[in-house]
Amino acid sequence: MPPFPELEGGCVLCATIDRYAYGSLVPRADRIVTIESVDFKTTAQMTLDSEILCDGSLDLIKAAVRRFGREGTDGYDLVLRSSVPPGSGLGSSSTMMVTLTGLLARHYRLPVSEYQTAQLAHVIERQDLGIAGGLQDLYAATFGGFNFIEFTDRVIVNPLRIRDEIALELELSLLLCFTGITRDSARVIEDQTRRTNASTKDTLAGLRAQKDLAVAMKAALLTGALKDFGRLLGEAWYQKKRLSPLISNARIDELYELALSKGALGGKVTGAGGGGYILLFCDFTKKHRVIEALEFAGADVMEIAFDTKGLTTWPV
């Protein structure tokens, strides 16, 4: 997240799971664009013959429509939905932006590469709309699979060749625990960015440590040292909390400590923090105890599977 990559270079270890952003685009014979957002239970309509204004309603979608322009096409009907709630920390808004970018690029017959798709989605979300955040979600959703992504003055996506048995064992070892809290990540990110710009000692130390941990966790994953991976995940959470006091809260701490007491080796909150999901690593023989305890505490717990596909579009 800026400004750290520009100053010292950044990296993340990421993987895509079986949760998706879906979209359909049906061409029209007029200049009208209609939008239906299933997640927000909201609809909108506009014409390509007038300026498209972002007015606080479905701005993510309107900004994408505006960025692709009003020339060279008739209108279309968009229907969009996601399999995770907005504000969950699983990159749902960025994944939806990638979905929109893919749909519109295909509609406008633009030959864009994966890197160009992710960069265009980044420009719309971060620059056109001014939504604070990093690059990693956009590139992860576009490319799909296990990746080690490096950020300097450019982005380099390094696909990782994870052996099938390691990926399957990791799947069986992971849980997602929903804290019950959805949040606007911008507030957490803005505080973290302010502290980075001010060279706050603890924030910079936490960022540097997380960068080192991403490298160590990549090595553990590639070599199948999954218990080390789980413990490093817990260390990453400790370091993440140093970035801002808004990243954790009493509910997150309660659920995390409960999971550890029942056998989880480590975990961390996904996304910016402040709510959303906790990703937990558990020995399979103790996983059921962790699930029972968290559900008894009122949390929603789910298992996941990895998906190696990134952005996929097709005609009907």
Catalytic amino acids?
Answer: 137
The two tokens of residue 221 are: 């994953």
Residue 141: phi, psi to the nearest 5? -70, -35
Residue 73: phi, psi to the nearest 5? -160, 150
**231 exposure class (CB count in 10 Å sphere: 0-12, 13-18, 19+):** middle
Q: Side chain identity at 313, as an amino acid letter?
A: T
Question: ∠229-184-96 over CA atoms, to 5°?
Answer: 75
Tell me the pairing of strands 32-37 and 42-47.
antiparallel
Per-residue exposure over 124-155, b if at least 16 CB sit within 10 Å of its own CB, e if not: bbbebbebbbbbbbbbbbbbbbbbbbbbeeeb
Tell me the pairing of strands 10-14 and 147-151.
antiparallel
